[in-house]
Amino acid sequence: MASHAYKGTLLNNEPLAKYTSWRVGGPAQRMYIPENKADLIDFVAGLPNGEPVYWIGLGSNLLVRDGGIRGTVINTRNRLKEMRLIDTDRVYVEVGVPCAHVARFCSDLGLTGAEFLAGIPGTMGGALKMNAGAFGGETWQIVDQLEMLNQQGQVLNRNKHEFEVAYRSVKGIDDEWFLAAQLKLAKGDSQVSQLQIKALLEKRNTSQPTNKPTCGSVFKNPAGDHAARLIEACGLKGYRIGGAVVSEKHANFIENQGNATAVDIETLIQHIQTQVQQQFGISLQTEVCRIGDEA
C-alpha cells in the first residue's frame, strides 16, 4: 500500500505497547493515523479485500498480545474528534472523541444523560463497540443514529435498532465500523449535571487505580453480583504473575507494575477465572478485548 496517496501517516511494524493503557503489546504490521474522516474513508477504500482491520483509540479495554497484529490498525487518537449540537437535544460525536469530553460537552449544553461517560477511560468508538458503562449508565441508552464505514469505503447511516445490544456487547453487521454517533439526550440543568460529573469522578478516583497502567475493568459483572467482590473473596487482591498484579484498590483491575507482558496479564486473567469458578461456581467473562498473536 503506497502511503503517498493519503494525507495521514502509515507506520510499519509499529510497537503497540505505547498506544495501549496497559502499556503492553507487540507490533502492528501496519498502523494508519488518518488526517481526518475523509482521509480515513479514502484509506479504507484502498485496502486489499479481506485485509484484517483493527481500531484503537485511547487503547483502554484492550489487551494486545506480545506477538502483535497482522493486518492494519487504524489509530483514531486525537483524530475523528468532531462534536457538535445537531438540534435541541441531539449531539453528533465522532469516534475519536474521549468519552469524558462527551460528558462535559453535553453537560455544558444543559443536556443530561451522558454524565456516566465521564467515568469511561476510552473514546466514543470503543464505548459504542462494547456498550461501555459506568455508574449505572450505558452508552447505547443514549445512542439514536450511527454513521458506519464498510470495507469498501462506503459511509452508511444506521438506526440503533439495527444492532443487537446487550450488557457490554454490541453485534452489528460484519465488516462495518463506527465513524460517528448521534446521541439523544434530555434537557436539564447544566449546573446539576456538572456536579454529578464531579461526584462520579471523585468516586472513580477514590475506588479505582486511575494513576496506574490498567485497561479499566477486566471482567463483566455476573448477574446480581460484582466481579470485584468475587475476586476479593478469593483472596486475590495483590496476587501477582510476573509484572501483572491484581489491584489492591479494586480487584477488577489488573495493574502493569512496569515490566508486565501480555502473557503475564492473560495468565493472571485465567488464574482469576479458575479461582472464582472453583470457589463460587461462577464463570467470569472478560470485558477486555483480546487481540493479536501470541509471541
Q: Which domains does the chain show, CATH number per domain?
A: 9-75 (3.30.43.10), 83-207 (3.30.465.10), 227-291 (3.90.78.10)
How confident is the model at residue 2, as a pLDDT? 45
Catalytic annotation, residues: 168, 217, 287
How confident is the model at residue 5, as a pLDDT? 72
**pTM, two decimal places:** 0.93
How confident is the model at residue 24, as a pLDDT? 98
For the chain, how big is the Rg over CA atoms in Å? 19
pLDDT tens, residue order, the chain (295 aa): 544 578 999 999 999 999 999 999 999 999 999 999 999 999 999 999 889 999 999 999 999 999 999 999 999 999 999 999 999 999 999 999 999 999 999 999 999 999 999 999 999 999 999 999 998 899 999 999 999 999 999 999 999 999 999 999 999 998 899 999 999 999 999 999 999 999 999 999 999 999 999 999 999 999 999 999 999 999 999 999 999 999 999 999 999 999 999 999 999 999 999 999 999 999 999 999 999 999 8
Q: How far apart (Å, rounded) are the C-alpha atoms in residues 241 and 24? A: 15
